[in-house]
């Protein structure tokens, strides 16, 4: 959702976008958390809006390096858009 806002010209600081995402996540249950250690590439695409390439990179990195424990682990995934990752970090579960 935030990605679409930016594509349509929304201007805000990272902090403001994060607050917006927090508000939407809290008030609209459609934005549920995704378990990054169990999600398929398709779930990363469909539920979090990552590209197919980014989603595949996340799954491949997890398979090669083990479970993600925190956002810092996801930041190590090659080819992942860090800004997109930051906008979505409140949607990640690490169970």
pLDDT in tens, 51-67: 999 999 999 999 999 99
3 or 78: which carries more pLDDT confidence? 78
For residue 29, the model assigns a pLDDT of 59
Could you give the C-alpha distances from 88 to 64, 78, in angstroms and in order?
Answer: 23, 17
Q: Which domain holds residue 34?
A: 2-93
Residue written as token pair 């594509």: 7
For residue 61, the model assigns a pLDDT of 98
67 or 26: which carries more pLDDT confidence? 67
> Span 11-38, mean pLDDT?
82
CATH number at residue 64: 1.10.150
Give the count of domains, the chain: 1
For residue 31, the model assigns a pLDDT of 62
For residue 28, the model assigns a pLDDT of 67
The alpha-helical segments, DSSP class H, found in the chain are 2-7, 14-27, 41-48, 52-65, 71-74, 82-88
């Amino acid at each position: 959702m935030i990605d679409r806002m930016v594509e349509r010209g929304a201007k805000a600081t990272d902090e403001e976008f994060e607050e917006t995402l927090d508000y939407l996540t809290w008030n609209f249950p459609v934005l549920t958390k995704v378990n990054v250690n169990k999600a398929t590439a398709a779930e990363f695409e469909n539920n979090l809006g990552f590209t197919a390439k980014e989603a595949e990179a996340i799954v491949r990195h997890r398979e090669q390096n083990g479970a993600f424990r925190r956002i810092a682990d996801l930041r190590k995934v090659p080819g992942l858009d860090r800004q997109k990752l930051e906008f979505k970090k409140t949607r990640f579960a690490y169970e």
